[in-house]
Structure 1
Amino acid sequence: MAKVAYLGLGVMGYPMAGHLKNKGGHEVTVYNRTTAKAEKWAKEFGGSFAATPAQAAQGADFVFACVGNDDDLRSVTLGENGAFSSMKKGAFFIDNTTASAAIARELGEAAQKAGFKFMDAPVSGGQAGAENGVLTVMVGADENDFNTAKPVIEAFARSVGLMGPVGAGQLAKMVNQICIAGLVQGLAEGIHFGKKAGLDISKLIEVISKGAAGSWQMENRHKTMDQGEYNHGFAVDWMRKDLSICLDEANRNGAMLPVTALVDQFYKEVQKLGGGRWDTSSLLARLEQ
């Protein structure tokens, strides 16, 4: 059992912190910008909550965070009452936020100077994966640090992989989002075409999902897409944030992302339809307007 802190109790962090408490068996203290949510978590899982990131992190062996973006991450780490001001020597800060590789490297350097460890460890699997404790975690870290922290991370994960040094976890998550963007657009166009052609979408997917076209998106989203139901899952607003990170990094490293840039604009059109909180599969709604 370790002493653990978790900063950020959104749709991902809330259940992830719960798994660290119940499945991992750790002593967990949480922090959330809205204190009422931290109080609710503590009551539900039997942990404790703190008023600031610094208080939550004090004395902890492992401090996790899952917040909105680079600025939020800086706030809970380097800001006033940030976690980095109170972390003990040799502790681990493990960031589950989907953020830039640049902020990962910045925080990695700050942690090293202060005498503790930093790992960027963004996740994939969405809200359902977080709730069921079966996320995929892509880690950027020193190999020895990774081996020490991996058993703790596994409380909420099905797969935990070391991608390279600090920053590599975020780069791997960018690849994940690039692949998903093109895949969802292809699935939306396929279902749109099938409906226009008069095909039974359920029968169609039952067959083609077993072949080379099959994917998690196809298996798990085709029914709701066919029914025009999008009030669930990974929000378009979040996906656009992630794709902006991908496109910014591509501008730096010279990668060509024409499909990603195009799908990002398609998601912008979905936002204009009022679908900012719709699931990413709502690309079909744009085609059906």
Structure 2
Amino acid sequence: MKVSFIGLGTMGYPMAGHVSKAGHSVVVYNRSTQKAQNWCKEYQGAFASTPALAAQDADIVLTCVGNDDDLRAVYLGPDGAFQQAKTGTLFIDHTTASAEVAKELHQVAQERGFRFMDAPVSGGQAGAINGVLTIMIGGSQSDLDTAQPILTCYAKATRLMGSVGNGQIAKMVNQILIGGVLSGLSEGIRFAQKAGLDIPTLVDTLKHGAAGSWQLENRGETMAKNTFDFGFAIEWMHKDLGLCLAQAEKMGIKIPLTQAVDLDYQALIAEGRGRQDTSVLVKALDKKA
């Protein structure tokens, strides 16, 4: 297939690479041209100077950018991807964004003869590099069938969650759960340390039981060592939890644990920890001791 990939950040760069390595014709665009040029040196493909030029000949256009405003710019701007794409092009957005912007872009896509799916991912940088992401999709089954050969280049699981927007709602649930798990894990690790337990032994034991989780297995020991220079940055988690809180308000429900976790992340960002991994939440607990 002819594929365009717009947004070569921490996630998009390796995801686009997997598509290229699978033998598809890939054109990339990134706001920083140097990064697009570097990608082309590492993988087979070409780069375009605007989203419009990247999308003009593509069968499928993939996007992975920062937020709602970035999405509107790369899709709807004067040089946006919707400006020169051919009729019938399938657009797939991997950005973690609002359900509202997904529905907005879907509406415009329909008006212009395109197809659109929201498809946020989970699995972090390691999942993108290793090609084992989980993708939560809002859209039609027929569009997912069309996209599947591309999505499987970098995903181990793809699941249709319903109509456009539902992929983003599912990703919000994912982030709510991560925040809650990290909150409990922070307390558990500090409790264990105070009690004098050996953390590696504890983690290796608990991961096989009902308390087992990806966060415990991959972050328990590093949290105990106060090591946070990797993984998903809390400035992005704060953005994601803001989406969750805004959606909850629209639905008229309270998510108090998520609100508390987000406040802790805001305080950590204010300390200059914005680029550290989400597991740095344990440091907020230290301040409450």
The bucket for the TM-score relative to the shorter chain is over 0.9
How far the C-alpha of 1:38 sits from its partner, in A, is: 0.3
Indicate the SS of the match to 1:9: coil
Tell me which amino acid in the other structure corresponds to 1:88.
K
Distance 1:37 1:208 in 2: 42
Q: Report Cα offsets for 1:159-217 as digits up to 9, x if no partner.
A: 00000011010000001001110001100110011111111111111111111100000
Distance 1:153 1:207 in 2: 35
Distance 1:16 1:59 in 2: 20
Q: Pick from 181, 184, 201: which aligns with 2:182?
A: 184
Q: Pick from 97, 121, 128: which aligns with 2:95?
A: 97
Counterpart for residue 217 of structure 2: 219
Distance 2:177 2:148 in 1: 25
CA contact (8 A) 2:11 2:64 kept: yes
Counterpart for residue 233 of structure 1: 231
Is 1:71 matched up with 2:40? no
Distance 2:161 2:281 in 1: 30
Is 1:28 matched up with 2:30? no
Q: Pick from 142, 157, 175: which aligns with 1:144?
A: 142
Is 1:37 matched up with 2:35? yes
Indicate the SS of the match to 1:111: helix
Counterpart for residue 272 of structure 2: 274
How far the C-alpha of 1:67 sits from its partner, in A, is: 0.4
Q: Give ranges in structure 2 of 5+ residues lacking alignment.
A: none
Indicate the SS of the match to 1:178: helix
Is 1:153 matched up with 2:151? yes
Distance 1:239 1:79 in 2: 26
Indicate the SS of the match to 2:82: helix
CA contact (8 A) 2:54 2:81 kept: yes
Counterpart for residue 161 of structure 2: 163
How far the C-alpha of 1:255 sits from its partner, in A, is: 2.4
Q: Pick from 37, 53, 61: which aligns with 1:55?
A: 53
Q: What RMSD in Å do the two structures reach over aligned CA positions?
A: 0.8
Distance 1:43 1:11 in 2: 17
Indicate the SS of the match to 1:28: strand
Tell me which amino acid in the other structure corresponds to 1:230.
F
CA contact (8 A) 2:40 2:46 kept: yes
How far the C-alpha of 1:65 sits from its partner, in A, is: 0.4
Counterpart for residue 123 of structure 2: 125
How far the C-alpha of 1:151 sits from its partner, in A, is: 2.0
Q: Report Cα offsets for 1:234-269 as digits up to 9, x if no partner.
A: 000000000000000111012221100011011112
Indicate the SS of the match to 1:83: coil
Q: Pick from 253, 256, 261: which aligns with 2:254?
A: 256
Distance 2:243 2:237 in 1: 10
How far the C-alpha of 1:272 sits from its partner, in A, is: 2.3
Number of residue-to-residue matches in the alignment: 287
Distance 2:56 2:142 in 1: 23
Tell me which amino acid in the other structure corresponds to 2:234.
V
How far the C-alpha of 1:226 sits from its partner, in A, is: 1.2
Distance 1:255 1:79 in 2: 34
